[in-house]
Amino acid sequence: MKNIVIFASGGGSNAEKIIEYFANSPVARVVLVLSNRPGAGVLFKAESHHVPTLTFTKEELENGWVLRHLQAFNPHIIVLAGFLQKFPADIIAAYPHKVINIHPALLPKYGGKGMYGIHVHRAVLENNEPESGITIHYVDENYDEGNIIFQQSIALADCATPEEVAAKVLALEHEHFPKVIEKLLTE
């Protein structure tokens, strides 16, 4: 049985889909959800599924405190699902090729600092892009720049607002993210 650890900053709809997908899986289960935001919706979602949670400060993320707690959970994969802080180099170095992130656009376009959530979808629409999509990639020390594992695109012809793009992209994330994690854990 493999251990999945999730970092998230927000509502945690992706985290919840992953928890549910693996709830009765013989492959893996979610053993810990961490957040930098004490009131984040993801923490309530995790608790409602009886998944342990941990919150931390920026300092604790950067001074090795979070890494020490992670080690106790023996993660086989570390999943960033809407985690909006820079991920520290010591955790990336301790878990090479085991930290992955989901981004709500087709990288390398619309990535980098400040490109998260609705900001991404607004920029995509402002540039009249015919399509957008999702990217799942390994995390390195730069924002949104690690090797790409999986991409899926969708047409934007019927989307007039960033919120409509967001809803379409989020549905795509929910559909694919758990399956990609499972594939990485079994290959």
Q: Burial of 28 by CB count in 10 Å (0-12 exposed, 13-18 middle, 19+ buried)? A: buried
172: contact with ligand GAR by CB under 6 A: no
Nearer to ligand GAR, 22 or 116 (CB): 116
Ordered DSSP codes for 50-65:
T--EEE--HHHHHTTH
Q: Find the binding residues for ligand GAR in span 62-81 (CB under 6 A).
A: 81
Measured from the CB atom, the residue of 15 and 100 that comes closer to ligand GAR is 15
Among 10, 133, 146, 178, binds ligand GAR (CB under 6 A): 10
Query: Contact letters (x/-) for ligand GAR, 13-32, by CB under 6 A?
Result: xxx-----------------
Site for ligand GAR in 82-111 (CB under 6 A): 82, 102-104
Contacts of 165 (CB under 8 A, 6+ apart): 121, 124, 125, 132, 156, 159
Owner of token pair 């924002």? 143
Which residue's C-beta sits nearest to ligand GAR? 82
Q: Which residues face 78 on adjacent strands?
A: 5, 99
> Cβ distance 9 to 38 under 8 Å?
no
Across the chain, which distance is largest between two alpha carbons, in Å? 47
- Number of residues located near ligand GAR, criterion CB under 6 A: 17
What is the C-alpha separation between 14 and 9, in angstroms, rounded? Answer: 11
Question: Which among 8-16, 49-57, 69-77, 90-98 is the span making contact with ligand GAR, rule CB under 6 A?
Answer: 8-16
Instruction: Name the catalytic one among 97, 103, 174, 176.
Output: 103
**Tokens (6 digits) for 185:** 């854990």
x/- track of binding to ligand GAR for residues 120-149 (CB under 6 A): x-----------------------------
Tell me the catalytic residues: 103
Which chain residues interact with ligand GAR by CB under 6 A? 8, 10-15, 81-82, 102-104, 116-117, 120, 170, 173
